[in-house]
Every structure is written in C-alpha cells, then in structure tokens.
Structure 1
Amino acid sequence: MRPVAALVAIIVVLLVGPATGAALAAPRQPAPVPAPGALTLVLDELAPRVVTGSGPTVLTVTGTLTNTGDETVTDIGVRLQRGQPLTSEGAVRDALEGDAPTDSIAPQFQELPDALGVGEQVPVRLTVPLRGAPETTLALAATGVYELLVNVNGVPGDGDRARLAAVRMLLPVVGLPDVADAGTPPTAATPFSLLYPVVDVPRRLTTAPGEPVRLTDDSLADSFAPTGRLGGLVTALAEAAPAGSPVRTATCVVTDADLLQTAQGMSQGYVVPAADGSLVPGRGAEAAGAWLAAFAEAARGMCVLALPFADADVVALARGDLAGSAVGAVTAGRGLVADLLGTPVLEGTAWPADGVVDEAGLAAFTEGDVRSLVLSADGLDLPAQAESAGTVPVATAGPAVTAVVTDPLVTLAAGGRSTSTTAVPGRGGAAAATTAGGPLSGQDVLGTVAFRAVEEAPTGGPLVIAPPHRWDLDGGAARALLDGFGTLVDAGFLSPRGLGSALATPTSTAERTLDYPIDAGAREVAPAAVAAIGPVLDDIADLDSSVVDDELGVDPDDLFDPLVLGAVRPASAAWRGSPEQATEAADALADRVAELRGAVAVLEPPSPFSLGTSTSPLLLTVANGLPVTMRVRVEVSSTSGLRVAPIPVVEVPPFGRRQIQASAEVQRSGVFTVDATVRSIDGGLLGSPSRLQVRSTAYGTITLWLTGTAGVLLVVLAARRILRRIRSEPGRNTPRPPRPGSPETIPDTAETALPADRPGTRPPPTTPSRTGAGETATTAGDRTLPVPALTPHPLPAPNGPIPAGPATGRNRPAPSAPSEPSGPPPVVRRPDVPVPPGSVPPRPGRPPVRPPGSR
C-alpha cells in the first residue's frame, strides 16, 4: 500500500503544483481609486513649528475641511501620521514632491461626528502627543526632519471608504521633550543668510507728469492693508526681526523700486479701470501711504538688496537685443530704492531671476556696475559637495565678478505649489498629498534649513536662503518662519551671517563658469512680449525728438525717464512661465504709449470749412495734451481740386493749443474731404488723423480758364455766323435787273420825277453807261440804277394837270393822272434805297427853290 499511496501523492502534486504556482504568480488587483475632489483641507496653524526639548509635548494642527464634491460624505476620519527621518537630500526632494512614504507611524483616526453635505465645511483640530505608543502618538524617538501627513478618510455617497484629502509638510525635530540628552547641538553652528523678498507683480501703467497714477486693478489696496500679504510681510519683519536680534542680522530685505514708486503714487490718489472700462478712484490710498512708511521704518539700518526696476528679467532683455534697457533697469533700481526707503542698498550687488544668468545677461549686469551676484548652485558649474554653500569667483571676460551660492533645495522648498489642498488620486489607490500653503507655506523652508543644519556639517560658507522673488507668503507664515529661524539660532544649529559679509569673504579661489539650465530658458519671459518692447521704445524716442526744453511745463526728463523705465514691465520676472500675462502687459504698455502720443493732434472743427475764394486759408487748431512744449509738423493731405501748401513747423505750449493757417488753392468748387495729421520732428505720426471737410464756392484757375475759353469761342462763333449771313444776302455787290412795273423803275427822289429844267431842282450827277435799248444808267452815290429814257415836254402850269408821258418799259400805257391833282406829285421811294441829299421835295404851297445860276 505504501508504494501505491506514494504514487498517488506524486500524481496529486504534479496536478496541483502548476495551478498553485500560477495562482502565486498572478498579479494582485489594485484597490479601487476614489473620485478626486471630494474634500478640501486648508490648514491654518501648526504648533510647535520646531520641536525642541523645552517645547510642548503635543503637536496641534488646526484647519478647515470643506466638501467640494457633488455627494455627501459620511464616516469622516482624520489622523496625523509621519514617516521616517529624512537622511539624504534625495529623500528631502521626494518629500517636497509628495512621493516619500508617510505611514511609518499612523495613529488611529479621530472621527468627525456628523456627515458633510455638498458645500458644507467643518473645523478640524488634531492634538497628538509627540512621544508614546504608535497607536495614539507620533512616537518620536530621535531628532531629525520628518514628513508629516494630515490624512482625511471618508465615504463619498454609496462608495467605499477612501482617502479624500491630504496635506503634507516637514517637521524639524531638534530636541525631544522630557529627554535630557536628545537634541545636542553640533559643535559648530551653520551660518545662514536670509533673503526676504517684498515684491509683487507690476500693476502700474505708464502715465505722464500731472496725471494720476493708473493701475491695472485695485488688488494692491488689499495687499497693502495690515491683514494683506505685503502688509503682513512688513509687519512680520518689524515684529519678528527687531533691531539687535540675530534674525535681523541674517536677513536682507529684497524689494523692487517699481512697487515702492507705485505705493508712493497711490498715496496721492490713483485710478483703476471699472467694469465698464471707465476710470474710477482707487480705495487704497491711505493703506499704501501707511505701508510705505512702515516699510521704510522696518528696513532702516538693515541690509537692503534692490532688484532691477520692475524686477526685469535681464537675461530675457539681453536675448531680445535690449541690453541697454536691462542696464538702465539695474542702475535705476538701486538709486530709487535707496531714495524711497531712506536706507543705503548693497552697492554693486544683484539677484537675477531664479538665481541664474547667461553670458549676455552677465555682461548687462557688469555694464550696470554689478560686481557681486546672488546665484543658485544650479546656475554654476560646481562640484556636488559645494552646492549648499560658498562664495566663489565667476569666470568672465569682463570685470571680476563674485557669486554667493544659494541652496537650490531651500529654494525648491520655498516654491509652494498650492494654497489649498484637494484630494488627488495617487499610487495604490491613495490620494496624493499637496504641499501646505497659506499660513503654513514657510514650514517646508524651515524643515529644509533644519535638515541642512542638523544632518550636514557646515562647509564654511553661509547657507543662503533664497526663495522666489515673488514669495507666496502671508504675514502669519512669514512671522512663523522668522520665529522658527530664531528657535534654530537659540538651539545652536544656526548662526547669523549678513549677506554683505558673505560676499566679501570668498570661500574658494577657483573660478566657476556659468551653467544656464535648459529649464530656466523655457521659463523665460515670452519672446513675443520682449519683442513688443522695442517698438514702444522707438515711439518714446520719436516723441522725445519733438520736445522743446524751455521754461514752460515740466522737465522733459521727468516725462521720458519713467516712460523708458516703465517699458521693461512686460519683461518682468513675475511673468516667467506665464506668456499670456506677459503679452497682456506688453499690449497695455503699447496702448498707453499710444494714448500719450495721441495727446498731440489736430482738433476736428465742429462744422466744415467754407472757402469763398480760390486761395482762402484753412484755420487749424493743434492741441497738446502733454506737460511739455512740442515742436511738430502739421500736414494736410491734398486731393483732386484742393491743393494745400506745406505748413511750417509749429510749437504748441504744454496743455495748450495753437491755431495755424494752411494756404489752400481751390481748383474747382465743391465739397472736399482731407486728413490733417501731426508728426514729430523725426516724422512719426503722433495723433490720429483728423478728418476735415472743406466746402468751396469759388472758381478755381481751371474753372476760370474754361469759362474764358468758352467766352472767346462764343464770340468767334457769333462773328462767324454774322459774316456768313452778310455774305449770303443777294444783290449786295451785283446790280439786279429791274422787273417791269417794279418800284426800281420809278425815280428815287422827287427831283428825278421832275424835269431836269424845272426851277429849284438839282438833278443828281449822272454818268452815262451802256444799258439796254432806250435806257440810260444813272449813278447815285455808289449805286447804279437803271433809269428809263424820258422825252422832254413842256412844264405844266402851276397847279395844272400833269400831261401824260410816253410809254415806258415794254410800251405799256402809263397810268392816267387824276383829273384834279392837288399839291406836288407823289414821290415813290424804295425802302432800302437812301434818299440823296437835297432831294427832299418842297413843302406844299411853297415854290421850289431854284438852283444857283438858273432862271
């Protein structure tokens, strides 16, 4: 039986073994992933910020939990858990990125009593002992830096219980409560210097002297208030770093001249755009004035480092062929900060954006008399062991430059990525934690500095803490951070070292070359925004070419220096990584400069010009809305029918007007539309062209020429017509033969009808000519008339009948005379034949006058 049993066992193993192996090799199914965004946790306080041997024995966390999802969450539990101490820089980086394990010690959840509906919120307060059993405490047993996690679990709707929100932070532990030998300070404290930025994004628009300060929005009114971000930074500096304190010695205030100028201008009144686009007075004038005064008082006697004006990105400007603007921003920034704060600034020292610079940017800094730079270790070619501290010379082709090296790990810790915390799906079905923000935004900086001081031996150089230029730190977080540094100083882990003394004491003589990171180039200000600055500077220079430096108005430098400085605002380091905002800033700058140039223009008249003659002048009015005298050129375009002569250069007083005359020549009557423009001396168009309408009732040269030509032609045609009519009339030069019985056969005058020998008559002179048979030709004047031949007969008695004469013409019988004639015989006269002189018949009853010599 034993052999049979053994054989059965072998068969079973052979059959079951592969199935078991397959089951063991099968991958584990991941846990279900909860829906993100169900809850949001915002922490307000953490006490203590640094755990010391003489401090409290419990850790307290307070905050607010809000249901931002779309379902009611039930069975909510909150607990505070931690990971193992961080012993390497890689572990710290993982913790800052939220990838380090935090479940080494996980006490029990503290349940919330009620469910949380959609949109509802509930306060959260956790109090956990620092030492004790792992089920109920954090169970701290050694000093170091720990990553804490505030974990929120719950059941969304009908789902399963899961992590719905989480917040992570670093907790430095330099001593254990109730443990005498825990937290022994090192033999030598780590020297440190703190850069304390008081900076904001540029919000001021370019204005001319005399205009109120104009801002893009009114957010500075809240920020300058004591409860605002900028107001809280100044208050924390004054209260947590008083005169004589170690933290004040190590702190160097960093600020921007543009922000200080903006606050000064706001205190005198300013305007902001309303929703409808109009300008309305701002509400932060009093807060701005009080903030500037408090800032000057808090910074008096401290180390002050001035940024380039408007925190300009010098590298981006140099890359955009605007090195001159970069140099001006560097030099002007130092002088303005010293004047506005009333405190000297570090001479020849600059802090580039992100602590990195390339060769072109370095040349711009050195041209601006910069001999010391604050650079990140990521921007230099350094050995790994020297990345945390040191002051080294920089290899450059120009003047010698020294760089104090900042700690990039601390800079990473200071760049908090969120001010609120929302659950996000993470690895293994758990929600990944976000960085604590708001009042706890400086906690990671404090933990990272403690890691450098506790876990690493000092290298001789100072640990320079350099957060981003625009640090998202409010007043509460800043005060907690300064208090934490004070705690580390008191515990013997840190010692203050001023930035000026650190720059003056190099820790190495080996020159280091610049190493501009690729990702830093990707974060530079958008090239399109930088490229837009060049044309604006050209417009400002063109406007400057027409300014008259006289006693009227303001000093031209007071107008153009702010314009040139303000032109670098679109290249502010605040826009690194935000191309849309940089482009908006560039557009706002261009629009504002265009408005200033448009303040000089020709005013459009209320009614059209009316010209009564062909050479009437046009009266134009040039307005100058700038506070300086402008010498400009006025041009009026010519059109068909209207020609305008060139206008001499005209000077317009500040905020004044000048009327000028433009000689116009009208070539025809009608209505003309022309454009009047104002140009600078260099030829740039200042104001928008003004559309002018000109109405003319005068005849121009062409019109008069055409009219005269038409008149001459009319006279010629009329004369030609008359001449042709005269020439076309018959019988004017050729005699016509008379018709029988026509009036031509009758004598023209009374004397021709009388006998030639009648007393008192003088026959007209006659010239014989060859005529027809029985006829003679009588010439009277220049006319030759045919006269029939007469037969002499005796004169009748006075008042007697006239005897009948012989037949005439074609022997027709003559008409019989009346039986009783009375008076002289009638005279038949042709209407078209003039009466010769002396041929007038005698009046009735008077004897005819005899010619001289007759009887």
Structure 2
Amino acid sequence: MKRIATLVAIIVVLLVGPVTGAALAAPRQPAPSAVAGALTLVLDELAPRVVTASGPTVLTVTGTLTNTGDETVTDIGVRLQRGQPLTSEGAVRDALEGGAPTDSIAPQFQELPDALDVGDRVPVRLTVPLSGAPESTLALAATGVYELLVNVNGVPGEGDRARLAAVRMLLPVVGLPDLDGADAVSTPPAAATPFSLLYPVVDVPRRLTTAPGEPVRLTDDTLADSFAPTGRLGGLVAALAEAAPAGSPVRTATCVVTDADLLQTAQAMSQGYVVPGADGSLVPGRGAEVAGAWLASFAEAARGMCVLALPFADADVVALTRGELETSAVGAVTAGRGLVADLLGTPVLPDTAWPADGVVDEAGLATYAEGGVRSLVLSADGLDLPAQAESAGTVPVATTGPATTAVVADPLVTLAAGGPISVATTVAGRGGAAAAAAAGGPLSGQDVLGTVAFRAVEDAPTGGPLVIAPPHRWNVDGVAARALLDGFGTLVDEGLLTARGLGSALATPTSTTERTLDYPIGAGAREVAPNAVAAIGPVLDDIGDLDSSVVDDELGVDPDDLFDPLVLGAVRPASAAWRGTPELATDAAAALADRVTELRGTVAVLEPPSPFSLGTSTSPLLLTVANGLPVTMRVRVEISSTSGLRVAPIPVVEVPPFGRRQIQASAEVQRSGVFTVDATVRTIDGGLLGAPSRLQVRSTAYGTITLWLTGTAGVLLVVLAARRILRRIRSEPGRNTPRPPRPGSPETIPDTAETALPADLRGPPPTSTPPPAPEDRTLPAPPRPLPASNGPIPAGPTTGRNRPGPSGPSGPAGPPVRRPDVPGHVPVPPGTGAPLQGRPPLRPPGAR
C-alpha cells in the first residue's frame, strides 16, 4: 500500500511540475480558530520595519505565545525564517496569500525553557542578525522585499513535534549595514516614485436615529474605548499628528478620509449620550469626555491637510442606486462634504469621491454626478484597462454624463492592506496555520509597507503617482499607523518615494484615452444586502408622512432640524461597512425602522385610568392627545364605532410640542352596557401614528331604540286597560236599576227581638228609614250589667223598656238609637220590650 501511494505522488509531481511542488510546500487553507494543541502567536514589534544601510544590524521580533488548545505543549521552539526576494507582482500576491515558500533560509530553533499548559502564555523575543551564516542569521545578501515567517514548533500532548503557530509578513530591504562587498547594495532608482496616501479615519455606524430634545442613543459603547488615546481611532489621530507633522513630505502626500456620521456622533457624544445596558435599559455612556477631546484633536491634526469626505455614513451609492434610492444617495454625498468641512473646520476636496472598494457601475456613476462629483478614486480593477497599461495615473472615464476623471489606485497595495488573505499549512492535522501580520495589531501595516517598497524598487509605475488606498475600514491601530507613516518617511529619505498630493494628481491627467467602467462580479456579491436596502424605502415614507402633519410655527424647533437628520440617517443600513455581512445590514435596517416607529408612537391618545361613564344617550367623551415630538402636530383623531355606540367625526386638532391637548368627541349610545372602542391618531395624509388606545365606555342611559320600545309598551298597556274597562261596562245591563239585597245583608235579616214579644208589647212598626250602613250591622252583644240596687231605674237612653211609649210624655217614638260606645250593641226599635239582661224580668201585679 505504501508503494502505491508513493508511486501516485511521484506521478502527480511529474505531471504538474515544479509549481505544484511549491504549492505543496505551503497549501492554502483556512486557519482554524481553535484546534487541539494549537498555539497562538501575536507579534507586538518588528524592528526595523525597513532595513537600511544606516539602520540596525539585527532584526528583533517580540510577541506573546498563548496555548489556546486543550493539551499541554512541550519542547517548544521558535525561529525566524525567510524566502527569496519577491521579483514579480504574482510572487507578491502569492506571499500575501500565504502561498510563497519561506524556507530558503531557516536558522535553528530557539528553544523555550518551559512547557506551556492550557491557557498559559509566555513572552517571545527573537533577535536574529541580518547577515551571516544561514544557520544563525537571515543571511541577507541583496536588497528587495522578502517574506518572513515566525515559526513555532512544539509537541502537543502525546503527539509528534509539529508547527503549532506561525505569523508571516513582508520585510522591505533597501540597504544592508556593514555588508562585505559594495556590489551587494542595489542602486536606488533614477527617479523616486510619486505616491499619494489615503488615510481613512472611519468606523461602522453606531448612532441610532433620535429627535431633537432626546438623548443621543448609540448601539453600544465601543467608541468610548476607540476614541481614547490608546484606542484605535484615538491612535490614528495621534499617529497622524506625530508622524506627519506640518511641512513633512508624508503630510503632503497624505489625504485624510473620514465620514461625517462619525464626526457628528463624536460631537453629540460630548454632550452626553445613552447606550443599552446589560438588562436592556438605557444607561449613560462613559465616553463623553474622550469623544470631545478626540474631535478637537482630529480637527487640529487635519487642519491644512488634504481632506476627502465620504458619503454620510459611508453609504454604498451603488447599492442605494440599485434599490431606486438615488435621492437618498445624492443627499448622502452632498451632505457628507458639507458636514465634514464644518466639523473639522477645514476645506475638503471639491467634487471628489471614493466609492466603496474603489469600484462603481454606470448607474452609480450617474448618481455621483448628480451629487456634483467630477473626480473619483477608483481601483485599477474597476476600470477596463489593457493588460499592458500601467495601474496608475489619472484617466478620463467614459460616461454619458458630465466629464469625469479617475485617479487609479494600486489594487496590489489595497490587497496588502485588506487583512489576512489566507494562511499557510497545518501539520499533522493540528494547528500551525500561518496568520498574516495584517490581521490586526501593531504589525498590521507591515505588508502595506513591503508592497509599496516593492513597487518603488522592482515595479515602479510610470504613468502617474502610486495611490495607496487601503479599505475604508482598514485594520490598523495607532501603533501600526505610526510605524507605517514612519516607514513611508524612511522610503522618502532613501530616495524611493516622493510626495504627490491627491489633489495634484487629480488635476494632472496622465492619459487622454477614456476608460470604461468595469464593475467586478465579486464587488456585486459584496454589496449591501438588497433586503436591507429595500427596508429603507418604507422608513422614508413614514418620515415623509410624519412631515405632512407638522405645523411650521414659532413653537418648538425648526422642522428641518427634526426631519433632515431623520432622512439623512436613513442611509445607515446601506453603509459600506456592511458589505459582505448581510446579517449586520439587516440588523441595522431593523433598528432604523424600530426607532422611526418609536418616534411616531409618541403621538397618541392617552388611555384613561378608568372607563368613561355616560348618563345620557348623547354624552361627550373627553380624550387627551399627547405629542412627544418637538414640533406642533396637526393630526386627526378617530374613534371606532361599535354596535350600540356611535361616535361623530372629530375635527382636526393641533397638539403643541412636547404637550397635550384635550378634545371632546360626541358619542351617541343606542343601548346601555359596556363598550370597547379603539382611539387612533393619524397624520393629515392618513398614516397611523401611535398605537391604537383601547377605551372602555360604560352607559346607563336609554338609547333611542330603548325609549321607543318603552313608549310603545306604555301605549299598548293603556290601550289594553281601556279595552278591559269598556268590556266590563258593556257586560253589566241595567246598571241604573236598584239591585236586590244580597243574602245575609241587614235588609234580609228579620228582627227576632221584636217578633218575639207579645203583640201588646210590640211598638209601632218602624218608620220607613234607610237601612243602616254595612258597618253598623254588628252582632248582638250582651247588654251592660245594671246596678245592683233595686231602686227605681234611672232615666237612661230611650231604648228598650225604659223608653216611654208613643203616647208618653216624651213624645212620639223616634228611630232606633245606636250606641257606638257599646260593643256589639244592636239598636232596638221603639216599643220593643226586650228583657233586660243581668236582672230578672218584672212580674205583673199579683203574680207570684
């Protein structure tokens, strides 16, 4: 089996040739972020950055080695090795991509004394002579640009010795100190190469849309650290002031590139701002002081320099144009120039733009032209240049619009400044990937310096200046920027470079042949995500709808102070910072939409603390409309009707800035009960502002239907009662004739007391008198007891036996006398001889 594998490998080498052999020595593959047994090497310093005849004789590299794997590493050795001088652009590209061989000179390893446990770190310092024996030095014998490799080997756990970490970089050698033999030092070129440097001071957009009067809101507090003197942005400004002082060639060649959104954010932060806290609530930011100091130092460092303004928020004009947002793109371009000039207090390059990635299509070029742009900084990859043409100079651009020129930036230098391109090999399935020094940190500008030196020494452009255009957000901190500017100064001192300002380069065309635009396919794939750009349109519609209801009066702020920042800030989701990262662009678009919705939501009907009570069928509803914006708003308030409750339309109402307005709505209820309705506030154009407010209405009044039903029932009741009475009247015939006495009435009861007496004792028949009332007919009651004396009976009432007869002196007999004071008394007609109770009856004379 081994023989077959060996035979196959030999055949592959013979068929492909020696180029494949070099590729096998360093295959290109991604670097694993964390591999078992891997070590991580971070370099802090390389001295010298440019080897010169008058410089040090040794090369010193310092850094830190950390065990980021899961095994203890023993038998660790570190060495500095190099490859052959790079003599072609292809060789430089291979070196930047990690594909060039670096084992031409490989001195012995310098062993570290101790093992490295998981998570431990150890400082690394290598000092290697530049010339001498290859076993212990770099053995440099000629000038040129070399690729260096810091190689770390070790034994992870129980495995075999392998490369566990590596960092590669370019080293420009323009002279050798103390070199035996004068012919070893190359003669400087006959003419120095003019160069222009674009120096970006740019960051990703972090500010969220706010209204005047609101605290400035940021997505995070990263800028508080970045603006500090030790931070990235603070270091870039400090390096510019220190390494490019006034009057220096480097300052002449440097053009500062910045973004108005970043400067505005720093200015706003200096007045106080808020950021989301750990629990999601807004907390005060901690960078107010450093933000103000950074902006002041930046304005001081850039005063009198060449300044190039990016579109506001570094908006991707091509993506906005493709999303049919040309107006927003033009506004970003024009506003960017004016704001940068105002905030830095220095003029900016007029009519000049630098598109994202240095490329633009024809539609984007038309948008730039509409924004007043007549000069562009374009990559050579963005123009249709012949293969033999120099990748430098200022050329006219073929366009149907206004005449436009383009200064050509070197794409090889841009590639060198773009960060880690790829990596070297991984040994035995473990770590060992070679990271580029451009991955960040103090050595992140070393590849740019090496590439510029290669252009100046080996492949100097003849058509125009060498334009160094790193990415807008190049991964360089203050230390790396200072070293890069110092390195350019060294190349100027060595006669390899000469300063040429960007404005001068734009004003001096090197060709009269028009070049057409060439928008690379890869650039189109890296554009801002289309869904993020598409989300900007509805937000702009919401802002315009809000603007339609603003009253331009003396109250509050100027409406332009509110809406101009809103419209301008709407391009942040289309920032070139999100190229290649669609998820970040989508998040930015969602954050923008949420903030505008939140601002619109500050105009709404306040929900009352308790339900409305209506006592009548046409009671009014008192509503309160709140306005959280700093301008007077003219709005429409609508209350939805429901079954049983109808609300009349409400006239347009004006609400003062940051104020409230109470309005009255006429409501008509058609029945009693509890109703739930929604109250909404809309703009004059009909757009919904705040969220609908839920209102509860409790009615105890009778509505129209209820009253109608009640009245109908009352009328019906009266009709039915009258009908019944009439029927009763009609059913009683002869109701005017005397009615016969009812059985048992006093008229039908015989007077037993009278008939029981003898005829001679009976009185005269009763006179015709009306019968007593029913209430006088009472049952007979026992008579009152008489006194016990047998004397003469005193005169009493004219009743019974003691009443004189009809011929007596007392006169004729009268009607029976009723004794109402005697219970149960029954009147006796005169002449009735009823015996007295309580004593024996009188005997006639002679009776025994």
Q: The TM-score by the shorter chain falls in which range?
A: 0.7 to 0.9
Aligned to 1:703: 706
Aligned to 2:243: 240
Aligned AA (2:408)? V
SS of corresponding position for 2:662: strand
Aligned AA (1:186)? P
- The answer on 1:629 being equivalent to 2:572 is no
Distance 1:828 1:533, change over 3 A: same
Aligned AA (2:435)? T
Structure 2: how far apart are the matches of 1:386 and 1:309?
Answer: 34
- Scaled by the length of structure 1, the TM-score of the pair is 0.83
Structure 1: how far apart are the matches of 2:204 and 2:524?
Answer: 20
Offset, 1:23: 10
CA contact (8 A) 2:169 2:436 kept: yes
Aligned to 2:838: none
CA contact (8 A) 2:670 2:706 kept: yes
Aligned to 1:177: 177
Structure 1: how far apart are the matches of 2:5 and 2:98?
Answer: 34
Equivalent residue for 1:672, pick from 663, 667, 675? 675
Equivalent residue for 2:331, pick from 320, 328, 332? 328
Offset, 1:739: 10
Aligned to 2:301: 298
Offset, 1:445: 0.4
Structure 2: how far apart are the matches of 1:172 and 1:217?
Answer: 40
* Aligned ranges 1:134-283 → 2 under 5 Å: 134-179=134-179, 180=182, 182-283=185-286
Aligned to 2:716: 713
Distance 1:123 1:648, change over 3 A: same
Structure 1: how far apart are the matches of 2:251 and 2:730?
Answer: 125
Structure 2: how far apart are the matches of 1:478 and 1:739?
Answer: 136
Structure 1: how far apart are the matches of 2:49 and 2:204?
Answer: 30
SS of corresponding position for 2:134: coil
Deviates further, 220-229 or 51-60: 51-60
- The answer on 1:473 being equivalent to 2:416 is no
Structure 2: how far apart are the matches of 1:368 and 1:168?
Answer: 43
Distance 1:23 1:353, change over 3 A: closer
Equivalent residue for 1:383, pick from 383, 386, 394? 386
CA contact (8 A) 1:233 1:475 kept: yes
CA contact (8 A) 1:223 1:229 kept: yes
Structure 2: how far apart are the matches of 1:383 and 1:23?
Answer: 46
Offset, 1:824: 2.7
Aligned AA (1:559)? L
Distance 1:423 1:282, change over 3 A: farther
Aligned AA (1:202)? P
Identify unmatched segments of 5+ residues in structure 1.
Answer: 1-18, 747-815, 832-842, 847-855
Give identity over the alignment, percent. 86
Equivalent residue for 1:578, pick from 581, 600, 603? 581
Deviates further, 217-226 or 599-608: 599-608
Distance 1:741 1:699, change over 3 A: closer
Aligned to 2:47: 47
CA contact (8 A) 1:207 1:213 kept: yes
Aligned to 1:343: 346
* Aligned ranges 1:398-547 → 2 under 5 Å: 398-417=401-420, 425=426, 431-436=432-437, 437-547=440-550
- Scaled by the length of structure 2, the TM-score of the pair is 0.84
Aligned length: 746
Aligned AA (1:477)? A
SS of corresponding position for 1:719: helix
Structure 2: how far apart are the matches of 1:583 and 1:334?
Answer: 27
Offset, 1:37: 5.5
Structure 2: how far apart are the matches of 1:695 and 1:509?
Answer: 83
Aligned to 1:805: none
* Aligned ranges 1:592-611 → 2 under 5 Å: 592-611=595-614
Structure 1: how far apart are the matches of 2:468 and 2:712?
Answer: 95
Structure 1: how far apart are the matches of 2:117 and 2:496?
Answer: 47
Identify unmatched segments of 5+ residues in structure 2.
Answer: 13-23, 748-758, 775-810, 815-848
Structure 1: how far apart are the matches of 2:37 and 2:425?
Answer: 7
TM-superposition CA deviations, 1:399-426 (whole Å, max 9, x none):
11101111111101001139xx999626
Aligned to 2:57: 57
Aligned AA (1:712)? V
Aligned to 1:776: none
Offset, 1:741: 13
Distance 1:481 1:739, change over 3 A: closer
CA contact (8 A) 2:83 2:104 kept: yes
Aligned to 1:307: 310
CA contact (8 A) 2:395 2:513 kept: yes
Aligned AA (2:119)? G
Structure 1: how far apart are the matches of 2:384 and 2:390?
Answer: 10
Structure 2: how far apart are the matches of 1:488 and 1:58?
Answer: 19
Aligned to 2:560: 557
Distance 1:710 1:494, change over 3 A: same
CA contact (8 A) 2:391 2:461 kept: no
SS of corresponding position for 1:607: coil
Distance 1:430 1:82, change over 3 A: farther
Distance 1:817 1:624, change over 3 A: farther
Aligned to 1:130: 130
Aligned AA (2:475)? D
CA contact (8 A) 2:99 2:424 kept: no
Offset, 1:609: 1.2
Aligned to 1:6: none
CA contact (8 A) 2:36 2:71 kept: no
TM-superposition CA deviations, 1:414-469 (whole Å, max 9, x none):
01139xx9996269999331101311000000001111110013313111100010
Aligned to 1:791: none
SS of corresponding position for 1:205: coil
Deviates further, 330-339 or 615-624: 615-624
Structure 2: how far apart are the matches of 1:22 and 1:43?
Answer: 43
Equivalent residue for 1:356, pick from 359, 381, 396? 359
CA contact (8 A) 1:53 1:183 kept: no
Distance 1:424 1:635, change over 3 A: farther
TM-superposition CA deviations, 1:283-307 (whole Å, max 9, x none):
0000000000000000000000000
Distance 1:458 1:427, change over 3 A: farther
Structure 2: how far apart are the matches of 1:639 and 1:325?
Answer: 44
Distance 1:829 1:429, change over 3 A: closer
Aligned AA (1:221)? A
Offset, 1:20: 14
Structure 1: how far apart are the matches of 2:526 and 2:511?
Answer: 31
CA contact (8 A) 1:256 1:310 kept: yes
Q: CA RMSD in A?
A: 3.0
Distance 1:86 1:426, change over 3 A: farther
Distance 1:238 1:218, change over 3 A: same
Aligned AA (2:307)? V
Aligned to 1:790: none
Offset, 1:827: 6.3
Offset, 1:820: 4.4
SS of corresponding position for 2:286: coil
TM-superposition CA deviations, 1:769-823 (whole Å, max 9, x none):
xxxxxxxxxxxxxxxxxxxxxxxxxxxxxxxxxxxxxxxxxxxxxxx99964245
* Aligned ranges 1:100-139 → 2 under 5 Å: 100-139=100-139
Equivalent residue for 1:660, pick from 656, 663, 680? 663
Aligned to 1:74: 74
- The answer on 1:614 being equivalent to 2:617 is yes
TM-superposition CA deviations, 1:708-736 (whole Å, max 9, x none):
11100111111122222223335559x99
SS of corresponding position for 2:106: coil
Structure 1: how far apart are the matches of 2:315 and 2:149?
Answer: 38
Offset, 1:844: 8.7
CA contact (8 A) 2:417 2:445 kept: yes
